Amino acid sequence: MQKAFEMLDAISELVYISDIESYDLLYLNKPGREKFGTDSLEGKKCYQLLQNRDRPCDFCTNDCLVYEEAYTWEYYNPSVNGYYILKDSLIDWEGKPARFEVAFEVTELELQKKSLERLVKSASLIIDCAKILHQSQSLETIVNKLLDTLGSFLEAERVYIFEIRGLRMDNTYEWCAPGVQPEKDNLQDMDIDLMKRWRPSFHRQECVVIDNIDEIQDISPKEYQVLTKQNIHSLVAAPLLADGNLRGYIGVDNPPEKNIQHIPLIFSTISYFLTSIIEKQETEKLLRKLSYQDTLTSVHNRNRFIKDIDKLSGQTCTDIGIVYVDLNGLKAINDNQGHSYGDLALTNTVTKLSSIFSKDRIYRVGGDEFVIICRPIKKDDFDSCVWSLKKSFINNQEYDAAIGSTWSSQCDNIQQLISDADEQRYADKKAYYRKNPQTSRYRYINDQFLELNNPQVLTKFLAEGQFPVYLQPKLSFSDRKLAGAEALVRYIDKHQVLVAPSQFIPVLESSHLIYMLDFYVFHSVCNILKRWIDEGQEVIPISVNFSRYTLTQTNFLQNLKNLWKSYDISQNLIQIEITEGSESELSAEIVTILKEVKAEGFSISIDDFGVKYANLSLFTSMDFDVLKIDKSLVEDVAKNTKAQLLIQTIVELCKKLGIQLVAEGVETEEQFQLLDRLSCDLAQGYLFSKPLPLDEFTKRYLAAI
């Protein structure tokens, strides 16, 4: 037996023998005695020495033991902080059954296993957090879900986010475990120097780990004071970096010691995703703001105006006042003093408006037009504000404004109220231009045309046929045969004089009533095409001009489609024509609208290409079908080699892109021959015909097809 004990003392495993009835320790090998710090077993029970308990273990396996067969099990012994695999069996000891146990320590292996399990769980947590961050919900909802998930997993007391704004920082989000006092309200507008010690680690994209808060008491007293005040005894914080700039940090307070070592890995990954989603949502928020804010003046723009009016249209408004303001002579200011001065005039106008009315009630609805919606406001107060506004412009020597206003104690039609204020504004503007006939924009306007500003008058004149539609033919260069036409409108005044568009179109555009005329012409063209089809005539495509003001109208595309559908004609017979313009490029808004029109199957024609300059970005920004070279390029093409080279380049580009090219203003045979050699597709101009009334056009051209 002594030889056997010597062999057991020589092995590294722990071996002991105990009485299965009294639990007395009968034998403990040398490694066991060293492990549990004893030299004598006299009077010692197995549960006392080995488990540090005062009674038999509730997990004792004595009842499971048999002779010559090992019972194997695993156990963590907290008294020595070790993991063991145990093999137990029964043996005879001095004629009595006894417990024989061999303990194999596997602490290191078990810790590695548990660490691996923790890593797997951490990876699963990161995936769950990434899924949360990519949900299509508000930023607040997403972040609160994230903090809840992190806090629960880490068994922490608090998880939170601080965001840096300049030299201050705010606790913007917070999750607290049940029973933990929230601290967010107490942690606002804090000096970022409180985290001065953390910044080097943050800029290295490393976490700050404080295992024991007492360790920083001497090295960072202010930090220690702030943290202990929140009952923090340990924490981990990770930076939120965007393009190398510290935006804030995410932190966790008082996690269990077992979890602290895993938090940096989790936070370093989560902080990346979190920063990305915060940046994305803040960018989207800024874009939404910009979509409703005028970038020059910072007041609401037309998009916001339309949205708010739509919302108010279904309500009954009480004590509401509308002010319509139009800066007079802005075009002259831009032409004579430059656009920067024109911009200054607009911003100064907004300064005047916002000094009297709340800025969040002001809308810039056009280039030089503003609308103010005041609600609720008493009539006397409203009238006083309007009078103050008018006085602010009286002594202004540089620019003036036309102002219209209206007030109602109860209004269930805000559109009508705006229209009434707009009508007063027109009257004020008309008076201004009569007093200032030198103003270039309206030098040709007289009261006869200004009355077209009235929607009721315009509706009446349209119904009475005072705006006849003329057609100007487009002929093929290849055979000089009719290939299309452009619809042009004229105005017959009260003296039965035919008035050119240049005299009345600007008035209608200024009043934003041009849409009424545009849709009238579109309706007329659909009617013409339908009649030709019903009569068995050979039909050709007709282009219809639409103003930019019409294109930006609410429901423009839907109105266009509804009108077209009512005639049951092919979309190939209608071209939607828009002017490329001499003063500016097509806006992003116009390009977007034209893309939508194109997507609905209508053909798009770009008119006046080459006025002052050629906007080549048109070819990349949108898809269109027809390009019309302005007559300013055509008129001297025979003598100007640069014009010829430019047109040739445009022709080649159009051929490659499948765009039909129309030369406008062709008036001589020489021009026609030269443009033919340059491979233009269609010609339009007085060489063939001026715009003709419908009957004359039909007799001259359709009969010849």
CATH number of the domain residue 674 falls in? 3.20.20.450
Strands across the sheet with 71-77, in order?
25-28, 14-19, 96-105, 82-93, 71-77
Q: State whether residue 145 is helix, strand or coil.
A: helix
Q: What is the CATH number of the domain that holds 136?
A: 3.30.450.40
- 596 with 492, same domain: the answer is yes
| CATH assignment at residue 353 | 3.30.70.270
Q: Is the pLDDT of residue 444 over 60?
A: no
Mean pLDDT (whole number) for 36-46: 91
Q: Are residues 220 and 321 in the same domain?
A: no
**pTM for this entry:** 0.42
Q: What is the CATH number of the domain that holds 97?
A: 3.30.450.20
Domain-embedded: residue 296:
no
Instruction: Verify that 101 and 222 share a domain, yes or no.
Output: no
Q: Which residues contact 604 (CB under 8 A, 6 or more apart)?
A: 575, 576, 578, 594, 597, 598, 622, 623, 624, 625, 626
In a domain, 342, yes or no: yes
Q: Indicate whether 373 and 452 sit together in one domain.
A: no
Residue 296: both structure tokens together: 């020059």
* Listed range (134-148, 171-185, 289-303, 520-534) with the worst mean pLDDT: 134-148
**Position 266 in a domain:** yes
Together in a domain, 528 and 675:
yes
Domain boundary among 254, 288, 322: 288
Q: What is the pLDDT of residues 401-427, one digit of tens each?
A: 999 999 998 887 888 888 888 888 877
pLDDT for residue 583: 41
Number of domains in the chain: 4
User: Which residues form the domain of 6?
Assistant: 2-105
CA distance 473 to 481: 10
User: Collapsing DSSP states into helix, strand and coil, what is residue 545?
Assistant: strand
- Following CA atoms 296, 613, 573, 543 in sequence, which dihedral angle do they give, to the nearest 10 degrees? 80
pLDDT tens digit string along 331-388? 778 877 888 888 999 999 999 999 999 999 999 998 899 999 999 999 999 999 999 9
Lowest mean pLDDT among 260-264, 447-451, 588-592: 447-451
Burial of 382 per CB tally in 10 Å (0-12, 13-18, 19+): buried
Do 384 and 354 have their domain in common?
A: yes
Cβ-Cβ contacts under 8 Å for 345 (sequence gap 6 or more):
327, 330, 333, 398, 399
User: Do residue 553 and residue 653 come from a single domain?
Assistant: yes
Note whether 256 and 155 are within 8 A (CB).
yes
- What letter represents residue 600's amino acid? E
State which of 38, 72, 105 marks the end of a domain.
105
Residue in 491, 529, 500, 477 with CA at minimum distance from that of residue 698: 529
Claim to verify: residue 452 and residue 591 sit in the same structural domain: yes
In terms of domains, do 501 and 631 share one? yes
User: Domain check: are 486 and 362 in the same one?
Assistant: no
Is 453 found in the same domain as 439?
no
Could you tell me if 661 and 535 lie in one domain? yes
